[in-house]
């Protein structure tokens, strides 16, 4: 018979007796542990998803003000005032000229000089090539 090791509950730290593979005192300690884990994991994903979703909506709203234009040009503060996060995006696209567009789903932006931002919708890369 294998030697019984003394372990402690992963949730409350109490000493555990009984089966070697036991990790928790009881169901309530196991549930508490798993709930905390899930909340932490979900929290990271949810926070980043929220940034991306919010960024997309801000770009969409600004672009919608210029429906006739393929690209609109706004001031940086129009994005930051709404809580835009420039450090979160879903993809990037570099043009042949070396300009970089950062996309939040189908809406992209490119930073110009003097705090100007160009916003585009759904660039068809094949047409641009």
* Residues lying near Zn ion in the complex (CB under 5 A): 9, 11-12, 14, 25, 29
Give the nearer residue to Zn ion in terms of CB position, either 31 or 95: 31
CB of 28 to Zn ion, least distance (A): 8
Would you say 29 or 79 has its CB closer to Zn ion? Answer: 29
CB of 3 to Zn ion, least distance (A): 23
Q: Measured from the CB of residue 99, what is the shortest distance to Zn ion in angstroms?
A: 57
Measured from the CB atom, the residue of 11 and 108 that comes closer to Zn ion is 11
DSSP letters, the chain, are: -PPPPPEE-TTT--EE-S-TT--SSSHHHHHHHHHHHHHHHHHHHHHHHHHHHHHHHHHHHHHHT-TT-SEEEEEHHHHHTTT--TT--SEEEE-TTS-EEEEETTEEEEE-STTEEEEEES--HHHH-
């Amino acid at each position: 018979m294998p030697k019984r090791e003394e372990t402690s509950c992963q949730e409350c730290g109490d000493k555990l007796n009984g089966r070697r593979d036991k990790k928790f005192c009881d169901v309530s300690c196991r549930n508490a542990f798993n709930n905390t884990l899930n909340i932490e994991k979900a929290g990271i994903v949810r926070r980043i998803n929220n940034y991306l979703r919010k960024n997309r909506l801000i770009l969409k709203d600004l672009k919608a003000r210029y429906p006739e234009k393929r690209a609109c040009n706004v001031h940086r503060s129009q994005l930051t005032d709404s809580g835009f996060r420039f450090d979160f995006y879903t993809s990037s696209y570099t043009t042949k000229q070396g300009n970089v567009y950062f996309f939040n789903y189908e809406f992209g932006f490119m930073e110009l000089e003097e705090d100007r931002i160009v916003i585009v919708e759904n660039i068809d890369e094949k047409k641009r090539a």
